[in-house]
Amino acid sequence: MTMAFDQIDREKIRDLAIRKAVEGLVRASTWGQSYLITMPLVYPSGSAVGVKVTPERGSYLVSDFGMGFREAEGFEAQRSFGAHAGRLKDRFGVDYEDHEIKILANERQISSAIRRVACASHRSATKAFNALPEMDGDEIGLLIYERLRKLFGDAHQVMGKTKVAGASSIDWSFAAEVKYQGRQILFDAVVPHRSSVVSAKSKFSDIRRLGPSVHPIAVVDNIERMGKWLPLISQEAEVIEGGVSEDVLRRVVAEAA
């Protein structure tokens, strides 16, 4: 059965909440002679994918202006980003040069070019991020799961190695989950390394956007050893050490609920 849909302008959307959401999906601003288009795509760090469109003598240069490369550079995967961008060139019909994904388009091709550049940049950064080696946080994660199971296993549902979809619909892995008084309390290990911190920050940020019923907790081996990375993690999640006392662990779960 084929369903027919009538396309309407944003102004004709009667539901104000839906209209506001639709209007916020794509935003445009000026930058000198160029236009910056914010797309409804999110890099692994949580920042939005942006595309720059610059009129050039009858044509338009559409570029991610190096945002994808800088995203990968933030978690030390810039070489991987370049490799993925090079392999995706033909698939998306774009060029990759001087750390920028770009394409020259005519007036009729602008919309398609914006989508292709945004998708290529997002896909390259995501592939580079996913190719990062897992940090040695498995032992910390296993320890906290065993402790939670011992403390709360009889009275509450405790699961290990669980996956939860964030607000972006991305499935994130967690070392342990406790369901307590109608809330999900999610624990995951973080170690003092850029890759681990960037991954955890993205994960916790996305999970927090689900609302107050989900509470993320970062588990570290030693808070002091986290150094400069601690503020980044503590912005998005409560931080505890894996070796905290049972009383502290009970309090953390109780306060999260």
pLDDT computed for residue 17 by the predictor:
87
CB count within 10 Å of CB 36 equals 14
Mean pLDDT score across all residues of the chain: 89
Residue 198 pLDDT: 86
Would you state the pLDDT for residue 112? 96
Tell me the mean pLDDT in the region 23-45: 90
**Over 80: is that where the pLDDT of 105 sits?**
yes
CA distance 215 to 255: 10
Q: Between residues 64 and 11, which one has the greater pLDDT?
A: 64
173-222: pLDDT as tens digits: 999 999 988 899 999 999 887 778 888 999 999 999 999 999 999 999 88
pLDDT of residue 136: 61
- pLDDT at residue number 92: 96
pLDDT for the residue 94: 97
96-117: b (≥16 Cβ within 10 Å) or e: beebbbbbebeeebbeebbebb
Q: How far is CA 7 from the centre of its chain?
A: 31
Residue 206 in tokens: 């996305």
**Beta-carbon contacts of residue 155 (< 8 Å; ≥ 6 apart):** none
Indicate whether 22 pLDDT > 90. Answer: no
| CA distance between the termini of the chain | 46
CA distance 160 to 170: 19
Where do runs of H (alpha helix) occur along the chain? 16-25, 67-74, 78-92, 110-130, 138-152, 194-208, 230-234, 246-256
**Count helices and strands in the chain by DSSP H and E runs:** 8, 11
Fold of domain 138-256: Trna Endonuclease; Chain: A, domain 1 (3.40.1350)
Which structure tokens are listed for 200? Answer: 């955890």
The order of strands in the sheet holding 214-220 is 157-165, 171-180, 183-189, 214-220, 238-241
Please report the pLDDT score of residue 3 as a whole number.
55
Q: Indicate the pLDDT class of residue 4, thresholds 50, 70 and 90.
A: low
Q: What's the pLDDT score for residue 89?
A: 92
Question: Residue 253 and residue 244: Cα distance in Å, rounded?
Answer: 12
What are the strands of the beta sheet with 48-56, ordered from one edge? Answer: 27-31, 34-42, 48-56, 59-63, 100-105, 95-97
pLDDT one-digit tens code per residue, 71-104: 988 777 888 999 999 999 999 999 999 999 999 9
Check: CB of residue 158 under 8 Å from CB of residue 149: yes
Boundaries of every domain in the chain: 10-130, 138-256
Q: Is the pTM of this model over 0.95?
A: no
